Amino acid sequence: MKTSKDKEGAGQKSASSVKKETETNTIRPELSEMINRHAFGLDENRPESVAKRQQKNQRTARANVEDFCDAGSFIEYGALAIAAQRGRRSEEDLISKTPADGLIAGIGSVNSSFFKDDQSRCMIMAYDYTVMAGTQGYFNHKKMDRMLKLAFERHLPLVLFAEGGGGRPGDLDAIGIMVAGLDLSTFGSFAKLSGRVPLVGVVSGPCFAGNAALLGCCDVIIATRNSNIGMGGPVMIEGGGLGNFKPEEIGPIDVQTQNGVVDIEVADDTEAVAVAKQYFSYFQGITPRWEASDQLRLRDLIPENNKRAYNVRNVIKTLADTDSFLELRPKFGPGIITGFIRVEGRPFGLIANNCMHMAGAIEAEGADKAARLMQICQAHCLPILSLCDTPGFMVGPDIEKRAQVRHVCRMFVIGSHLTVPYFTVVLRRGYGLGAMAMARGGFHESFITTAWPTGEFGAMGIEGAIKAGFKKELASFEDPEQRESFYEVLVDQLHKRGKAINMASYLEIDSVIDPADTRSWIMRGIKSVPAGKFQETCHSFVDPW
Protein backbone atom coordinates (compact mmCIF):
# COMPACT_ATOMS: atom_id res chain seq x y z
CA MET A 1 0.00 0.00 0.00
CA LYS A 2 1.43 3.40 -1.02
CA THR A 3 1.76 6.19 1.52
CA SER A 4 1.03 9.85 0.87
CA LYS A 5 4.75 10.36 0.44
CA ASP A 6 4.91 7.58 -2.13
CA LYS A 7 1.98 9.11 -4.06
CA GLU A 8 3.63 12.52 -3.97
CA GLY A 9 6.84 11.06 -5.32
CA ALA A 10 4.95 9.24 -8.05
CA GLY A 11 3.23 12.46 -8.97
CA GLN A 12 6.50 14.32 -9.22
CA LYS A 13 7.93 11.57 -11.38
CA SER A 14 4.95 11.72 -13.68
CA ALA A 15 5.28 15.48 -14.07
CA SER A 16 8.97 15.24 -14.88
CA SER A 17 8.28 12.46 -17.36
CA VAL A 18 5.75 14.66 -19.17
CA LYS A 19 8.26 17.48 -19.25
CA LYS A 20 10.93 15.15 -20.66
CA GLU A 21 8.56 13.82 -23.32
CA THR A 22 7.66 17.36 -24.34
CA GLU A 23 11.30 18.43 -24.53
CA THR A 24 12.25 15.48 -26.70
CA ASN A 25 9.14 15.83 -28.92
CA THR A 26 8.00 12.31 -28.12
CA ILE A 27 4.33 13.16 -27.60
CA ARG A 28 2.07 10.15 -27.83
CA PRO A 29 0.06 9.93 -31.08
CA GLU A 30 -3.39 10.30 -29.52
CA LEU A 31 -2.29 13.42 -27.63
CA SER A 32 -0.72 14.85 -30.77
CA GLU A 33 -3.95 14.21 -32.68
CA MET A 34 -5.96 16.03 -30.03
CA ILE A 35 -3.61 19.03 -30.00
CA ASN A 36 -3.61 19.30 -33.78
CA ARG A 37 -7.38 18.94 -33.97
CA HIS A 38 -7.93 21.78 -31.53
CA ALA A 39 -5.38 23.91 -33.36
CA PHE A 40 -7.47 23.99 -36.54
CA GLY A 41 -10.02 26.26 -34.83
CA LEU A 42 -7.55 28.81 -33.50
CA ASP A 43 -7.30 32.18 -35.21
CA GLU A 44 -3.51 31.98 -35.55
CA ASN A 45 -3.95 28.94 -37.76
CA ARG A 46 -6.63 30.52 -39.95
CA PRO A 47 -4.89 33.63 -41.36
CA GLU A 48 -7.07 33.93 -44.45
CA SER A 49 -10.28 33.94 -42.43
CA VAL A 50 -8.86 36.48 -39.99
CA ALA A 51 -7.71 38.71 -42.85
CA LYS A 52 -11.20 38.73 -44.40
CA ARG A 53 -12.67 39.87 -41.10
CA GLN A 54 -10.09 42.59 -40.73
CA GLN A 55 -10.86 43.89 -44.21
CA LYS A 56 -14.45 44.43 -43.03
CA ASN A 57 -13.26 46.07 -39.79
CA GLN A 58 -14.60 43.10 -37.85
CA ARG A 59 -13.07 40.65 -35.42
CA THR A 60 -13.41 36.89 -35.43
CA ALA A 61 -15.87 35.18 -33.14
CA ARG A 62 -13.00 33.81 -31.07
CA ALA A 63 -11.49 37.26 -30.67
CA ASN A 64 -14.81 38.60 -29.41
CA VAL A 65 -15.23 35.73 -26.95
CA GLU A 66 -11.67 36.17 -25.73
CA ASP A 67 -12.24 39.90 -25.21
CA PHE A 68 -15.57 39.37 -23.46
CA CYS A 69 -14.32 36.78 -20.97
CA ASP A 70 -11.75 37.40 -18.27
CA ALA A 71 -8.34 36.06 -19.23
CA GLY A 72 -8.03 32.29 -19.00
CA SER A 73 -11.58 31.75 -17.74
CA PHE A 74 -13.34 30.42 -20.84
CA ILE A 75 -14.20 26.71 -20.90
CA GLU A 76 -15.22 25.69 -24.41
CA TYR A 77 -17.78 22.96 -25.10
CA GLY A 78 -17.97 21.08 -28.38
CA ALA A 79 -14.82 22.51 -29.94
CA LEU A 80 -14.21 19.32 -31.95
CA ALA A 81 -17.54 19.37 -33.78
CA ILE A 82 -17.54 19.64 -37.56
CA ALA A 83 -20.33 20.16 -40.10
CA ALA A 84 -22.68 17.25 -40.79
CA GLN A 85 -21.36 16.90 -44.34
CA ARG A 86 -19.16 13.80 -44.17
CA GLY A 87 -21.14 12.31 -47.05
CA ARG A 88 -20.13 15.04 -49.47
CA ARG A 89 -16.73 16.29 -48.20
CA SER A 90 -13.60 14.70 -46.77
CA GLU A 91 -13.14 14.68 -43.02
CA GLU A 92 -9.85 16.57 -43.44
CA ASP A 93 -11.63 19.34 -45.32
CA LEU A 94 -14.38 19.57 -42.71
CA ILE A 95 -11.87 19.69 -39.85
CA SER A 96 -10.00 22.49 -41.60
CA LYS A 97 -12.96 24.50 -42.88
CA THR A 98 -15.74 23.93 -40.33
CA PRO A 99 -14.15 24.07 -36.86
CA ALA A 100 -16.66 23.83 -33.97
CA ASP A 101 -19.37 23.59 -36.68
CA GLY A 102 -19.49 27.36 -36.70
CA LEU A 103 -20.58 27.85 -33.07
CA ILE A 104 -18.14 28.69 -30.29
CA ALA A 105 -19.82 27.93 -26.97
CA GLY A 106 -18.80 27.71 -23.37
CA ILE A 107 -18.73 29.27 -19.91
CA GLY A 108 -16.45 32.04 -18.72
CA SER A 109 -16.04 34.76 -16.13
CA VAL A 110 -16.92 38.39 -16.85
CA ASN A 111 -15.99 41.41 -14.71
CA SER A 112 -14.56 39.11 -12.03
CA SER A 113 -12.26 41.86 -10.76
CA PHE A 114 -15.40 43.58 -9.41
CA PHE A 115 -17.68 40.67 -8.55
CA LYS A 116 -17.53 37.27 -6.85
CA ASP A 117 -17.11 34.04 -8.82
CA ASP A 118 -20.80 33.12 -8.56
CA GLN A 119 -21.72 36.56 -9.89
CA SER A 120 -19.25 36.58 -12.78
CA ARG A 121 -20.00 33.25 -14.48
CA CYS A 122 -21.69 33.56 -17.86
CA MET A 123 -22.68 31.39 -20.82
CA ILE A 124 -21.27 32.61 -24.13
CA MET A 125 -22.36 31.42 -27.57
CA ALA A 126 -20.87 32.96 -30.69
CA TYR A 127 -21.75 32.11 -34.27
CA ASP A 128 -18.60 32.08 -36.39
CA TYR A 129 -19.24 33.88 -39.67
CA THR A 130 -15.99 32.49 -41.12
CA VAL A 131 -17.61 29.04 -41.05
CA MET A 132 -20.32 28.84 -43.68
CA ALA A 133 -21.48 32.40 -43.02
CA GLY A 134 -22.39 31.66 -39.40
CA THR A 135 -25.25 29.39 -40.41
CA GLN A 136 -27.01 27.02 -38.03
CA GLY A 137 -25.82 23.49 -38.72
CA TYR A 138 -27.05 20.18 -37.37
CA PHE A 139 -24.28 19.78 -34.83
CA ASN A 140 -24.15 23.40 -33.73
CA HIS A 141 -27.88 23.12 -33.00
CA LYS A 142 -27.14 20.04 -30.91
CA LYS A 143 -24.35 21.91 -29.14
CA MET A 144 -26.56 24.91 -28.48
CA ASP A 145 -29.29 22.68 -27.01
CA ARG A 146 -26.71 21.27 -24.60
CA MET A 147 -25.59 24.76 -23.56
CA LEU A 148 -29.12 26.08 -23.15
CA LYS A 149 -29.94 23.18 -20.82
CA LEU A 150 -26.92 24.05 -18.70
CA ALA A 151 -27.78 27.75 -18.67
CA PHE A 152 -31.32 26.99 -17.50
CA GLU A 153 -30.29 24.53 -14.80
CA ARG A 154 -27.39 26.62 -13.48
CA HIS A 155 -29.06 30.03 -13.85
CA LEU A 156 -26.23 31.27 -16.07
CA PRO A 157 -26.67 34.63 -17.81
CA LEU A 158 -26.21 34.28 -21.56
CA VAL A 159 -24.51 36.40 -24.20
CA LEU A 160 -25.18 35.55 -27.84
CA PHE A 161 -23.01 36.79 -30.70
CA ALA A 162 -25.65 36.30 -33.35
CA GLU A 163 -24.08 37.17 -36.71
CA GLY A 164 -25.07 34.65 -39.36
CA GLY A 165 -27.42 33.64 -42.11
CA GLY A 166 -29.86 31.28 -40.39
CA GLY A 167 -30.47 27.64 -41.22
CA ARG A 168 -27.92 25.66 -43.25
CA PRO A 169 -29.40 23.51 -46.03
CA GLY A 170 -26.18 21.65 -46.93
CA ASP A 171 -25.87 19.32 -43.92
CA LEU A 172 -26.79 16.20 -45.90
CA ASP A 173 -25.64 13.79 -43.20
CA ALA A 174 -28.78 14.69 -41.26
CA ILE A 175 -31.16 13.70 -44.07
CA GLY A 176 -31.51 10.15 -42.82
CA ILE A 177 -32.59 11.26 -39.34
CA MET A 178 -34.79 14.29 -40.01
CA VAL A 179 -36.94 15.92 -42.70
CA ALA A 180 -37.60 19.58 -41.89
CA GLY A 181 -36.10 19.80 -38.40
CA LEU A 182 -39.08 21.71 -37.05
CA ASP A 183 -39.01 19.60 -33.90
CA LEU A 184 -35.78 21.25 -32.77
CA SER A 185 -35.86 22.44 -29.15
CA THR A 186 -33.32 25.25 -29.64
CA PHE A 187 -35.71 28.15 -30.06
CA GLY A 188 -38.08 27.09 -27.32
CA SER A 189 -35.18 26.43 -24.92
CA PHE A 190 -33.61 29.81 -25.68
CA ALA A 191 -36.91 31.64 -25.19
CA LYS A 192 -37.51 29.78 -21.92
CA LEU A 193 -34.46 31.55 -20.47
CA SER A 194 -36.21 34.92 -20.79
CA GLY A 195 -36.87 36.27 -17.32
CA ARG A 196 -34.85 33.49 -15.71
CA VAL A 197 -31.43 34.93 -16.56
CA PRO A 198 -30.20 38.10 -18.31
CA LEU A 199 -30.00 37.60 -22.09
CA VAL A 200 -27.71 39.82 -24.15
CA GLY A 201 -27.61 39.75 -27.96
CA VAL A 202 -24.68 41.20 -29.92
CA VAL A 203 -24.66 41.69 -33.70
CA SER A 204 -21.89 42.73 -36.06
CA GLY A 205 -22.69 42.30 -39.75
CA PRO A 206 -25.64 40.34 -41.17
CA CYS A 207 -28.04 38.48 -38.90
CA PHE A 208 -30.97 36.77 -40.57
CA ALA A 209 -33.60 34.03 -40.12
CA GLY A 210 -32.83 31.57 -37.28
CA ASN A 211 -29.98 33.72 -35.96
CA ALA A 212 -32.31 36.72 -35.82
CA ALA A 213 -35.02 34.62 -34.15
CA LEU A 214 -32.67 33.92 -31.25
CA LEU A 215 -31.46 37.50 -31.18
CA GLY A 216 -35.01 38.82 -30.90
CA CYS A 217 -35.58 36.79 -27.73
CA CYS A 218 -32.81 38.66 -25.91
CA ASP A 219 -33.46 41.29 -23.23
CA VAL A 220 -31.22 43.75 -25.03
CA ILE A 221 -29.71 43.92 -28.53
CA ILE A 222 -26.36 45.61 -29.09
CA ALA A 223 -25.53 46.15 -32.77
CA THR A 224 -22.68 47.70 -34.73
CA ARG A 225 -23.26 50.27 -37.46
CA ASN A 226 -22.53 47.71 -40.17
CA SER A 227 -25.29 45.40 -38.94
CA ASN A 228 -28.26 44.17 -40.94
CA ILE A 229 -30.99 42.35 -39.04
CA GLY A 230 -34.01 40.62 -40.55
CA MET A 231 -36.29 37.63 -40.05
CA GLY A 232 -35.46 36.68 -43.60
CA GLY A 233 -32.25 37.16 -45.57
CA PRO A 234 -31.75 37.55 -49.34
CA VAL A 235 -32.21 33.82 -50.06
CA MET A 236 -35.51 33.57 -48.19
CA ILE A 237 -36.82 36.79 -49.71
CA GLU A 238 -35.98 35.65 -53.23
CA GLY A 239 -37.39 32.18 -52.51
CA GLY A 240 -40.66 33.77 -51.45
CA GLY A 241 -40.91 35.58 -54.77
CA LEU A 242 -40.45 38.99 -53.16
CA GLY A 243 -37.51 40.16 -55.23
CA ASN A 244 -33.73 40.26 -55.12
CA PHE A 245 -32.04 42.27 -52.39
CA LYS A 246 -28.51 42.65 -51.14
CA PRO A 247 -27.91 41.90 -47.44
CA GLU A 248 -27.12 45.59 -46.89
CA GLU A 249 -30.64 46.52 -47.99
CA ILE A 250 -32.38 44.43 -45.34
CA GLY A 251 -32.85 45.85 -41.82
CA PRO A 252 -29.94 48.34 -41.77
CA ILE A 253 -28.93 49.95 -38.48
CA ASP A 254 -30.71 53.27 -39.10
CA VAL A 255 -33.99 51.37 -39.54
CA GLN A 256 -33.54 49.03 -36.61
CA THR A 257 -32.56 51.75 -34.12
CA GLN A 258 -35.51 53.99 -35.00
CA ASN A 259 -38.09 51.20 -34.90
CA GLY A 260 -36.85 49.90 -31.52
CA VAL A 261 -35.37 46.54 -32.56
CA VAL A 262 -31.81 47.58 -31.59
CA ASP A 263 -31.38 48.86 -28.05
CA ILE A 264 -27.79 50.10 -28.28
CA GLU A 265 -25.90 51.16 -31.40
CA VAL A 266 -22.11 50.92 -31.29
CA ALA A 267 -19.29 51.68 -33.70
CA ASP A 268 -17.58 48.29 -33.98
CA ASP A 269 -16.91 44.90 -32.41
CA THR A 270 -14.59 46.32 -29.77
CA GLU A 271 -17.22 48.75 -28.49
CA ALA A 272 -19.93 46.08 -28.74
CA VAL A 273 -18.03 43.78 -26.38
CA ALA A 274 -17.27 46.63 -23.96
CA VAL A 275 -20.94 47.66 -23.82
CA ALA A 276 -22.06 44.05 -23.40
CA LYS A 277 -19.78 43.74 -20.38
CA GLN A 278 -21.15 47.00 -18.98
CA TYR A 279 -24.76 45.88 -19.47
CA PHE A 280 -24.04 42.53 -17.86
CA SER A 281 -22.49 44.30 -14.85
CA TYR A 282 -25.80 45.85 -13.76
CA PHE A 283 -27.09 42.36 -13.01
CA GLN A 284 -23.96 41.21 -11.19
CA GLY A 285 -24.29 43.35 -8.09
CA ILE A 286 -22.89 46.40 -6.33
CA THR A 287 -19.50 47.76 -7.40
CA PRO A 288 -17.11 48.49 -4.53
CA ARG A 289 -15.68 51.67 -6.07
CA TRP A 290 -17.52 54.65 -7.53
CA GLU A 291 -17.31 58.40 -8.10
CA ALA A 292 -20.01 61.06 -8.45
CA SER A 293 -20.37 64.64 -9.65
CA ASP A 294 -20.91 67.63 -7.38
CA GLN A 295 -24.57 67.20 -6.42
CA LEU A 296 -25.06 70.93 -5.87
CA ARG A 297 -25.23 71.20 -9.68
CA LEU A 298 -28.66 69.55 -9.57
CA ARG A 299 -30.13 72.68 -7.95
CA ASP A 300 -29.64 74.67 -11.16
CA LEU A 301 -30.47 72.15 -13.90
CA ILE A 302 -34.22 72.91 -13.93
CA PRO A 303 -34.88 76.35 -15.51
CA GLU A 304 -36.58 78.99 -13.33
CA ASN A 305 -38.95 79.64 -16.23
CA ASN A 306 -41.21 76.58 -16.08
CA LYS A 307 -41.96 76.84 -19.79
CA ARG A 308 -38.34 76.35 -20.78
CA ALA A 309 -37.10 72.93 -21.84
CA TYR A 310 -33.92 71.34 -20.48
CA ASN A 311 -31.89 68.21 -21.19
CA VAL A 312 -32.88 65.60 -18.62
CA ARG A 313 -29.83 63.52 -19.60
CA ASN A 314 -27.74 66.14 -17.78
CA VAL A 315 -29.82 65.48 -14.67
CA ILE A 316 -29.36 61.72 -15.06
CA LYS A 317 -25.60 61.89 -15.57
CA THR A 318 -25.13 64.27 -12.65
CA LEU A 319 -27.31 62.18 -10.35
CA ALA A 320 -25.75 58.83 -11.29
CA ASP A 321 -22.29 57.53 -10.49
CA THR A 322 -19.76 58.86 -12.99
CA ASP A 323 -19.96 57.08 -16.38
CA SER A 324 -22.58 54.63 -15.10
CA PHE A 325 -25.53 55.66 -17.31
CA LEU A 326 -26.28 53.24 -20.16
CA GLU A 327 -29.23 54.33 -22.30
CA LEU A 328 -31.50 51.96 -24.24
CA ARG A 329 -33.31 52.75 -27.51
CA PRO A 330 -32.45 56.49 -27.64
CA LYS A 331 -33.86 56.87 -31.18
CA PHE A 332 -37.11 55.05 -30.44
CA GLY A 333 -39.87 56.60 -28.33
CA PRO A 334 -37.73 59.67 -27.56
CA GLY A 335 -40.32 61.14 -25.18
CA ILE A 336 -39.15 58.71 -22.48
CA ILE A 337 -35.55 57.87 -21.67
CA THR A 338 -34.76 54.41 -20.31
CA GLY A 339 -31.59 52.73 -19.20
CA PHE A 340 -29.46 51.75 -16.25
CA ILE A 341 -27.47 53.74 -13.72
CA ARG A 342 -25.60 53.19 -10.47
CA VAL A 343 -25.95 55.17 -7.26
CA GLU A 344 -23.14 54.54 -4.77
CA GLY A 345 -22.30 51.45 -6.81
CA ARG A 346 -25.84 50.00 -6.63
CA PRO A 347 -27.53 49.35 -10.00
CA PHE A 348 -30.96 50.79 -10.83
CA GLY A 349 -33.23 50.70 -13.83
CA LEU A 350 -34.21 54.22 -14.87
CA ILE A 351 -37.12 55.85 -16.70
CA ALA A 352 -37.33 59.60 -17.26
CA ASN A 353 -39.56 61.95 -19.23
CA ASN A 354 -37.79 63.97 -21.92
CA CYS A 355 -39.31 67.46 -22.03
CA MET A 356 -37.33 68.23 -25.20
CA HIS A 357 -39.67 65.92 -27.14
CA MET A 358 -43.36 66.84 -27.19
CA ALA A 359 -42.85 68.58 -23.83
CA GLY A 360 -42.45 65.15 -22.21
CA ALA A 361 -45.95 63.93 -23.07
CA ILE A 362 -46.06 60.12 -23.08
CA GLU A 363 -46.61 58.54 -26.49
CA ALA A 364 -47.24 54.91 -27.43
CA GLU A 365 -43.63 54.11 -28.30
CA GLY A 366 -42.24 55.72 -25.16
CA ALA A 367 -44.75 53.83 -23.02
CA ASP A 368 -43.69 50.54 -24.62
CA LYS A 369 -40.08 51.36 -23.89
CA ALA A 370 -40.78 52.20 -20.25
CA ALA A 371 -42.95 49.11 -19.75
CA ARG A 372 -40.26 46.82 -21.09
CA LEU A 373 -37.62 48.40 -18.86
CA MET A 374 -39.92 47.66 -15.91
CA GLN A 375 -40.15 44.02 -17.00
CA ILE A 376 -36.38 43.62 -17.23
CA CYS A 377 -35.93 45.10 -13.76
CA GLN A 378 -38.71 42.97 -12.29
CA ALA A 379 -37.37 39.78 -13.83
CA HIS A 380 -33.84 40.37 -12.57
CA CYS A 381 -34.55 42.09 -9.24
CA LEU A 382 -33.32 45.60 -10.00
CA PRO A 383 -34.90 48.60 -8.22
CA ILE A 384 -36.34 51.32 -10.45
CA LEU A 385 -35.89 55.08 -10.32
CA SER A 386 -38.47 57.21 -12.15
CA LEU A 387 -37.74 60.87 -12.94
CA CYS A 388 -41.08 62.47 -13.72
CA ASP A 389 -41.65 65.64 -15.73
CA THR A 390 -44.69 65.18 -17.92
CA PRO A 391 -47.87 67.05 -18.86
CA GLY A 392 -49.55 63.62 -19.13
CA PHE A 393 -50.34 61.19 -21.91
CA MET A 394 -50.29 62.59 -25.43
CA VAL A 395 -53.79 63.20 -26.80
CA GLY A 396 -55.40 63.93 -30.16
CA PRO A 397 -56.78 62.14 -33.23
CA ASP A 398 -53.32 61.40 -34.68
CA ILE A 399 -51.91 59.72 -31.59
CA GLU A 400 -54.95 57.47 -31.31
CA LYS A 401 -54.08 56.02 -34.72
CA ARG A 402 -51.00 54.53 -33.06
CA ALA A 403 -53.06 52.48 -30.57
CA GLN A 404 -52.31 54.92 -27.76
CA VAL A 405 -54.95 53.48 -25.42
CA ARG A 406 -53.46 50.00 -25.41
CA HIS A 407 -49.79 50.99 -25.42
CA VAL A 408 -49.78 53.53 -22.61
CA CYS A 409 -51.87 51.28 -20.38
CA ARG A 410 -49.04 48.77 -20.40
CA MET A 411 -47.33 51.09 -17.91
CA PHE A 412 -50.26 50.72 -15.51
CA VAL A 413 -50.61 46.94 -15.86
CA ILE A 414 -46.91 46.11 -15.65
CA GLY A 415 -46.24 48.78 -13.02
CA SER A 416 -48.99 47.44 -10.77
CA HIS A 417 -47.37 43.99 -10.73
CA LEU A 418 -43.88 45.18 -9.78
CA THR A 419 -42.44 43.97 -6.50
CA VAL A 420 -38.97 45.50 -6.89
CA PRO A 421 -38.42 48.81 -5.05
CA TYR A 422 -39.75 51.74 -7.08
CA PHE A 423 -38.81 55.36 -6.36
CA THR A 424 -40.41 58.38 -8.03
CA VAL A 425 -38.83 61.84 -8.12
CA VAL A 426 -40.93 64.60 -9.72
CA LEU A 427 -38.43 67.03 -11.21
CA ARG A 428 -41.00 69.54 -12.46
CA ARG A 429 -44.41 68.66 -13.90
CA GLY A 430 -46.57 65.88 -12.57
CA TYR A 431 -49.88 66.10 -14.40
CA GLY A 432 -52.68 63.67 -15.03
CA LEU A 433 -52.65 60.00 -15.83
CA GLY A 434 -49.19 60.21 -17.40
CA ALA A 435 -47.63 61.27 -14.10
CA MET A 436 -49.48 58.47 -12.32
CA ALA A 437 -48.09 55.96 -14.84
CA MET A 438 -44.58 57.26 -14.17
CA ALA A 439 -45.18 56.56 -10.46
CA ARG A 440 -46.21 52.91 -10.91
CA GLY A 441 -49.90 53.74 -11.18
CA GLY A 442 -50.27 56.54 -8.62
CA PHE A 443 -48.23 58.68 -6.25
CA HIS A 444 -48.95 56.32 -3.36
CA GLU A 445 -47.96 53.22 -5.36
CA SER A 446 -44.24 53.99 -5.37
CA PHE A 447 -42.24 53.01 -2.30
CA ILE A 448 -41.52 56.73 -1.93
CA THR A 449 -42.74 59.59 -4.12
CA THR A 450 -40.92 62.85 -3.65
CA ALA A 451 -40.46 66.09 -5.58
CA TRP A 452 -37.91 68.79 -6.05
CA PRO A 453 -39.09 72.29 -5.05
CA THR A 454 -39.61 72.97 -8.78
CA GLY A 455 -42.40 70.37 -8.82
CA GLU A 456 -45.89 71.39 -9.95
CA PHE A 457 -48.98 69.20 -10.02
CA GLY A 458 -52.49 68.96 -11.31
CA ALA A 459 -55.15 66.55 -12.53
CA MET A 460 -54.45 67.98 -16.00
CA GLY A 461 -52.47 70.86 -17.46
CA ILE A 462 -53.34 74.09 -15.63
CA GLU A 463 -54.11 76.17 -18.70
CA GLY A 464 -56.33 73.49 -20.19
CA ALA A 465 -58.07 72.89 -16.86
CA ILE A 466 -58.97 76.58 -16.54
CA LYS A 467 -60.21 76.91 -20.09
CA ALA A 468 -62.41 73.83 -19.66
CA GLY A 469 -63.51 74.36 -16.06
CA PHE A 470 -64.11 78.11 -16.20
CA LYS A 471 -65.44 78.35 -19.72
CA LYS A 472 -68.65 80.17 -18.72
CA GLU A 473 -66.87 82.59 -16.41
CA LEU A 474 -64.31 83.48 -19.04
CA ALA A 475 -67.03 83.94 -21.66
CA SER A 476 -68.89 86.37 -19.40
CA PHE A 477 -66.19 89.02 -19.85
CA GLU A 478 -66.82 91.23 -22.86
CA ASP A 479 -63.56 93.11 -22.37
CA PRO A 480 -60.65 90.92 -23.64
CA GLU A 481 -58.22 92.54 -21.20
CA GLN A 482 -60.46 91.78 -18.22
CA ARG A 483 -60.91 88.22 -19.48
CA GLU A 484 -57.14 87.79 -19.76
CA SER A 485 -56.59 89.32 -16.34
CA PHE A 486 -59.12 86.92 -14.78
CA TYR A 487 -57.49 84.03 -16.60
CA GLU A 488 -54.02 84.95 -15.26
CA VAL A 489 -55.38 85.16 -11.70
CA LEU A 490 -56.80 81.66 -12.03
CA VAL A 491 -53.52 80.36 -13.48
CA ASP A 492 -51.58 81.87 -10.59
CA GLN A 493 -53.97 80.35 -8.05
CA LEU A 494 -53.72 76.86 -9.50
CA HIS A 495 -49.94 77.12 -9.77
CA LYS A 496 -49.73 77.98 -6.09
CA ARG A 497 -52.16 75.21 -5.22
CA GLY A 498 -50.18 72.69 -7.27
CA LYS A 499 -46.75 73.61 -5.86
CA ALA A 500 -44.72 70.72 -4.54
CA ILE A 501 -44.76 71.98 -0.95
CA ASN A 502 -48.54 72.33 -0.98
CA MET A 503 -48.94 68.84 -2.48
CA ALA A 504 -46.80 67.44 0.32
CA SER A 505 -48.89 69.30 2.93
CA TYR A 506 -51.95 67.42 1.67
CA LEU A 507 -49.96 64.13 1.78
CA GLU A 508 -50.47 63.50 -1.95
CA ILE A 509 -46.69 63.07 -2.23
CA ASP A 510 -44.39 61.92 0.55
CA SER A 511 -41.84 64.71 0.67
CA VAL A 512 -40.07 67.59 -1.04
CA ILE A 513 -36.29 67.39 -1.06
CA ASP A 514 -33.26 69.47 -1.94
CA PRO A 515 -32.12 68.26 -5.39
CA ALA A 516 -28.59 67.95 -4.01
CA ASP A 517 -29.85 65.36 -1.51
CA THR A 518 -31.44 63.07 -4.12
CA ARG A 519 -28.67 60.47 -4.10
CA SER A 520 -28.66 60.17 -0.32
CA TRP A 521 -32.49 60.10 -0.33
CA ILE A 522 -32.42 57.19 -2.80
CA MET A 523 -29.89 55.25 -0.76
CA ARG A 524 -31.77 55.78 2.50
CA GLY A 525 -34.88 54.58 0.71
CA ILE A 526 -33.30 51.44 -0.73
CA LYS A 527 -31.98 50.48 2.70
CA SER A 528 -35.53 50.74 4.06
CA VAL A 529 -36.97 48.14 1.68
CA PRO A 530 -37.43 44.61 3.11
CA ALA A 531 -34.72 42.41 1.61
CA GLY A 532 -37.21 39.70 0.60
CA LYS A 533 -38.90 42.03 -1.86
CA PHE A 534 -35.84 41.86 -4.09
CA GLN A 535 -36.39 38.14 -4.67
CA GLU A 536 -40.11 38.21 -5.47
CA THR A 537 -40.94 38.24 -9.16
CA CYS A 538 -44.37 38.56 -10.73
CA HIS A 539 -43.34 38.57 -14.37
CA SER A 540 -41.80 35.30 -15.48
CA PHE A 541 -40.45 36.50 -18.83
CA VAL A 542 -39.42 39.69 -20.62
CA ASP A 543 -41.65 40.63 -23.54
CA PRO A 544 -39.48 40.82 -26.70
CA TRP A 545 -41.26 44.10 -27.45
- pLDDT tens-digit series, residues 378-431: 999 999 999 999 999 999 999 999 999 999 999 999 999 999 999 999 999 999
Does the pLDDT of residue 481 top 90, yes or no? no
* Cβ atoms 269, 216 nearer than 8 A: no
Q: What is the pLDDT of residues 232-263, one digit of tens each?
A: 988 888 888 899 999 999 999 999 999 999 99
Greater pLDDT, 268 or 5:
268
The least confident of 298-307, 329-338, 364-373, 457-466 is 457-466
Amino acid 5: pLDDT: 42
430 vs 504: CA distance, rounded Å: 13
Residue 123: is its pLDDT beyond 70? yes
- Mean pLDDT over residues 82-99, rounded? 89
pLDDT digits (tens, 9 = 90+) for 16-25: 444 455 555 6
**What is the C-alpha to C-alpha distance for residues 257 and 254, in angstroms, rounded to an integer?**
6
Distances (CA, A) of 162 to 73, 207, 231, 245: 22, 6, 13, 21
Burial label for 47, CB within 10 Å (0-12, 13-18, 19+), is exposed
pLDDT per residue as tens digits for the range 192-201: 999 999 999 9
Reply yes or no on whether the pLDDT at 472 is more than 50.
yes
The CA distance from 504 to 452, in Å, is 11
Confidence of residue 484 (pLDDT cuts 50, 70, 90): confident
Those residues with Cβ within 8 angstroms of residue 326's Cβ, 6 or more apart along the chain or in another chain:
264, 275, 278, 279, 282, 339, 340, 341
CA 414 vs CA 365, 372, 403, 417, 446: distances in Å: 15, 9, 17, 5, 13
Going by their DSSP bridges, the two strands 456-458 and 75-77 should be labelled as unpaired
pLDDT for 128? 96
- What does the alpha-carbon distance between residue 272 and residue 325 come to, in Å, rounded to a whole number? 16
Tell me how far apart the terminal alpha carbons of the chain are, to the nearest angstrom. Answer: 66
**Across 471-490, average pLDDT:** 79
Beta-ladder partners of 327:
339
534 pLDDT tier (thresholds 50, 70, 90): low
Domains for the chain: give ranges and CATH numbers: 28-281 (3.90.226.10), 295-455+499-535 (3.90.226.10), 461-497 (no CATH)
More confident residue, 166 or 365: 365
Q: What angle do CA 198, 389, 266 make, to 5 degrees?
A: 40
How high is the pLDDT of residue 535? 55
**What is the model's pLDDT at position 75?**
96
User: Rounded mean pLDDT of 46-57?
Assistant: 93
Burial class (CB in 10 A: 0-12, 13-18, 19+), 492: exposed
Distance of alpha carbon 269 from the chain centroid: 17
pLDDT at 174: 77
pLDDT computed for residue 186 by the predictor:
93
Question: What is residue 431's predicted lDDT score, i.e. its pLDDT?
Answer: 94
- The predicted-structure confidence for 298-326, as pLDDT tens digits, reads as follows 999 999 998 899 999 999 999 999 999 99
